[in-house]
């Protein structure tokens, strides 16, 4: 029966690319997770989304858009991921509630402004705190933590805690090799 369920789940979510699942690592979707896939969306093993209180929105805007979500990724309620060019979310990433990850400003400021999309890379073992905003062109380094309510406008190094508006390094983290964020 579980095999039929996984085949049904994959058939229902057309256009998404899932790795080959076993019963133990099917995606866990609780509540509402609204996916608008006009491009390429790849979701890794053990994906978990908790959209009970507020729906999660995951969007690839056009056929050139590519969104890659790694293994063991958790996305909490109210998260909005808008991809018009390229977003890569690494393995073991945790994204807190009400967070936005957008690779485009989606609006022009004036008549001379143009819409520009810049890729976002969130490396492995990152934790993004509640109500954070990750803006276009940012890379968040391996094992780093983005404090709640932060606005990330520049690259974040590996193994640091950043916070504020705009986000700045608060402290260096001590991360043992092979440690995985849970």
What is residue 18's predicted lDDT score, i.e. its pLDDT? 52
Which residues, 6 or more positions from 160, have their beta carbon under 8 angstroms from its beta carbon? 141, 144, 145, 169, 170, 171, 172, 173
Which residues, 6 or more positions from 10, have their beta carbon under 8 angstroms from its beta carbon? 16, 18, 21
Upstream peptide bond of 166 is cis (omega within 30 degrees of 0): yes
d(CA 84, CA 63): 9
What is residue 116's predicted lDDT score, i.e. its pLDDT? 82
What is residue 123's predicted lDDT score, i.e. its pLDDT? 98
CB 55 within 8 A of CB 88: no
- HSE (CB half, 13 Å, CA atoms) of 143? 13
What is residue 181's predicted lDDT score, i.e. its pLDDT? 84
Q: Which fold has domain 2-106+115-172?
A: UDP N-Acetylglucosamine Acyltransferase; domain 1 (2.160.10)
CB 64 within 8 A of CB 87: no
- Would you kindly state where each structural domain of the chain is located, as residue ranges? 2-106+115-172
pTM: 0.85
The catalytically annotated residue of 20, 63, 107, 182 is 107
DSSP string covering 46-87: T-EEEEEEEEEEEEE-STT-EEEE-TT-EE-TT-EEEESSEE
What is residue 17's predicted lDDT score, i.e. its pLDDT? 55
Q: Is 107 a catalytic residue?
A: yes
Low-confidence residues of the chain: pLDDT under 70: 1-26
The pair of structure tokens assigned to 122 is: 């969130």
**Length of the chain measured in residues:** 182
What is residue 25's predicted lDDT score, i.e. its pLDDT? 63
């Amino acid at each position: 029966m579980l095999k039929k369920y996984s085949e049904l789940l994959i058939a229902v979510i057309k256009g998404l690319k899932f790795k080959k699942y076993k019963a133990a690592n099917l995606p866990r979707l609780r509540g509402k997770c609204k996916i608008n896939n006009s491009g390429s969306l790849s979701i890794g093993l053990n994906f978990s989304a908790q959209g009970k209180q507020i729906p999660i929105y995951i969007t690839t805007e056009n056929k050139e858009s590519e969104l890659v979500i790694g293994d063991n990724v958790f996305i909490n309620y109210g998260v909005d991921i808008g991809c018009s060019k390229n977003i890569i979310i690494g393995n073991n990433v945790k994204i807190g509630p009400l967070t936005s990850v957008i690779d485009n400003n989606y609006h022009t400021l004036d008549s001379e402004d143009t819409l520009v999309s810049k890729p976002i890379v969130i490396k492995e073992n990152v934790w993004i705190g509640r109500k954070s905003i990750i803006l276009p062109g940012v890379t968040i380094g391996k094992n780093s933590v983005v404090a709640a309510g932060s606005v990330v406008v520049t690259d974040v190094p590996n193994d640091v805690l950043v916070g504020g508006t705009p986000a700045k390094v608060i402290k260096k983290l001590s991360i043992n090799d092979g440690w995985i964020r849970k």
